[in-house]
Every structure is written in C-alpha cells, then in structure tokens.
C-alpha cells in the first residue's frame, strides 16, 4: 500500500510517500517549518502544503505529538493546548482532502523500527524513546504496541522528564553531548526500574548523530540508535493504515 506519511514535530512537519510493505520512502521528504506552540491554522496549512507538494489523493497517515484515541486528540505536549479535544481525523481530512489515519508520533516511530529497523524480530520488552522537542515513547512486548505511553511526562524534580533531557533542552541549556548523556542516563535508569526493557532504541532527530553521544550512554539493557533515523516517524505514520487494517 502507498500512503503519504506525515510526521508532526515541535518544529516542522515532514512528509513523504511510503511503501508500507517495505518501509521505503518513494520520494524525497518534504519539510514545512512551524512554530511551537502552533495554531490550528498553521499546523493544518502545513499538512495541506505537504499533500499538495506530492499532489497526493491517496491515504494519509499522520504521527501527532500527543495522545490519540480513535482519531481524537487528548493531552498535547509542546504543540499547544488548542489541539486538545479536537477530532484529529476530521481536521486533517478537511485540510488535506484525503482519507486520514492518526496515531501518536512516537508510537509511529516505534512501529516503523519494529517492522523495518532496530526492533525487527524482537519479542521481549522493547522501549523506543524519541529525543526531540520533547521525549516520546513507544513500548512493545511480544511485538505488540502498548499505545500512548507518555513516558516523557514521568516527573523528575517536579517537572516532566522531557524538560530535563529532551534534545531541545541540550541546545537551550548549552550542554555538550556528554553532559546531555548524563541526563539521558538518569532517565534511562528510571525507565529500567519501571519496565525492565530488553532493548532500548534511541530515536528522534538525535539518532542520526549517535556517534556523538552513544559512547556516553550507560544502561543495563542493550541501547541502540534507531536504524531508520528520523524517517521512522514518517514511515510509522504511514503504517497507521496497516494498524487500521488498510
Ligand atoms: C508528547 C508526546 C510525544 C512527544 C514527542 C511529548 O510532549 O506528550 O505525545 O510523543 O512529545 O513528540
């Protein structure tokens, strides 16, 4: 199946047509910058622009940075509260003029890594964490997703962990890679205490820079960078249609 995958992040929407059987992008990805927080108008216009760029008329899958239940948007992190309690399916169907499916952005990245990347064939407990504007998480056991696990929001020193260890915090607090990795290690230790994962996959924008920080990462579980790098979000967004049964 060919699906236009759109990954909605805190600083941009990125999209490309995806072959859901192979996980391959069928064209170069198109990126539209947004501000964070982002108005409905700006976010929906960015989705429209991506569909228009590919002159897309087929199915669209979107990874959204918030809780998604049956197409409805629940609590939202960095994108802004105006998105909360909206019917995401209706909003994005109107914006793109296409049939749409919606799921959490980190769940999307996790599905892509389990199908085509670092989690392929892994049946134990696998935790994928995306480090970007926030921290996203996707939890798997027996290859099955536990949806909407918002593990970037586990509290640490009175704030959500994502305000302490997200990739955006590294830049904002001017931490070097080693200093940031120390924070990530604190976070991984808490995740390990809670879930005993067999494999931890580090995804999001930082995954393509793994050479800069992986050597500082310490955990009991095996920790590997996402193999699809930042494309995992786009590929996984398209897989929303496979989840939904096409
Ligand atoms: C949101 C999550 C999202 C993560 C990564 C968090 O702020 O609450 O739903 O997966 O950011 O975008």
Whole-angstrom distance, CA of residue 198 vs CA of residue 19 = 29
Q: Which residue puts its alpha carbon closest to atom 11 of ligand 1? A: 134
53 phi, psi to nearest 5 deg: -55, -40
Identify the CATH class of 2-107+232-243: alpha beta
* Local confidence pLDDT in tens for the 246 residues of the chain: 999 999 999 999 999 999 999 999 999 999 999 999 999 999 999 999 999 999 999 999 999 999 999 999 999 989 999 999 999 999 999 999 999 999 999 999 999 999 999 999 999 999 999 999 999 999 999 999 999 999 999 999 999 999 999 999 999 999 999 999 999 999 999 999 999 999 999 999 999 999 999 999 999 999 999 999 989 999 999 999 998 765
The DSSP string of 115-131 is HHSTTTT--SEEEEEEE
Return the sign of the alpha-carbon dihedral for residues 146, 6, 238, 27: negative
pTM of the model: 0.97
For residue 150 and ligand 1, the question of a CB distance below 6 A is answered with yes
Alpha carbon of 132 to ligand 1 centroid (Å): 9
Q: Quick check: CB of 148 below 6 Å from ligand 1?
A: no
Ligand 1 probe mutation, 38, 43, 77, most atoms within 8 A of CB: 77
Rounded-to-integer distance, Cα 177 and Cα 211, Å: 10
DSSP 104: E
Under CATH, which architecture does the 120-227 domain have?
2-Layer Sandwich (3.30)
Decide whether 2-107+232-243 matches 120-227 in CATH topology. yes
Ligand 1 mean position, distance from CA 135 (Å):
6
Ligand 1 atom, smallest distance to 134 CA: 11
Domain definitions of the chain by residue range: 2-107+232-243, 120-227
Closest Cα to atom 12 of ligand 1: 65
104 lines ligand 1 (CB under 6 A): yes
The rounded Å distance from CA 89 to ligand 1 centre is: 18
Residues ≥6 apart with Cβ < 8 Å to 201: 110, 113, 117, 118, 119, 126, 127, 128, 129, 223, 224, 225, 226
Estimate the crossing angle of helix 40-53 against helix 88-96, to 10 degrees: 50
Q: Is residue 106 lining ligand 1, measured as CB closer than 6 Å? A: yes
Q: By alpha-carbon position, which residue is closest to atom 4 of ligand 1?
A: 136
């Amino acid at each position: 199946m060919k699906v236009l995958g759109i990954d909605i992040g805190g600083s941009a929407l990125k999209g490309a047509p995806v072959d859901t059987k192979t996980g391959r992008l069928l064209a170069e990805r198109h990126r539209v910058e947004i501000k964070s927080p982002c108005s409905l108008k700006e976010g929906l216009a960015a989705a429209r622009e991506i569909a228009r760029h590919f002159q897309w008329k087929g199915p669209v899958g979107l990874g959204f940075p918030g809780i998604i239940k049956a197409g409805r948007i629940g609590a939202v992190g960095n994108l802004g509260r105006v998105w909360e309690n909206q019917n995401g399916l209706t909003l994005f169907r109107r914006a793109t003029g296409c049939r749409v499916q919606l799921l959490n952005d980190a769940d999307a990245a996790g599905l892509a890594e389990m199908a085509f990347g670092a989690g392929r064939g892994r049946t134990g407990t696998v935790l994928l964490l995306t480090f970007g504007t926030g921290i996203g998480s996707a939890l798997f056991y027996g290859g099955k997703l536990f949806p909407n696990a918002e593990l970037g929001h586990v509290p640490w020193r009175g704030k959500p962990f994502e305000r302490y260890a997200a990739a955006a915090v590294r830049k904002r607090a001017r931490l070097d890679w080693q200093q940031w990795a120390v924070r990530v290690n604190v976070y991984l230790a808490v995740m390990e205490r809670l879930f005993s994962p067999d494999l931890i996959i580090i995804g999001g924008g930082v995954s393509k820079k793994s050479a800069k920080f992986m050597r500082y990462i310490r955990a009991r579980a095996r920790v590997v960078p996402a193999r699809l790098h930042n494309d995992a979000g786009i590929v996984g967004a398209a897989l929303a249609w496979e989840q939904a049964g096409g």
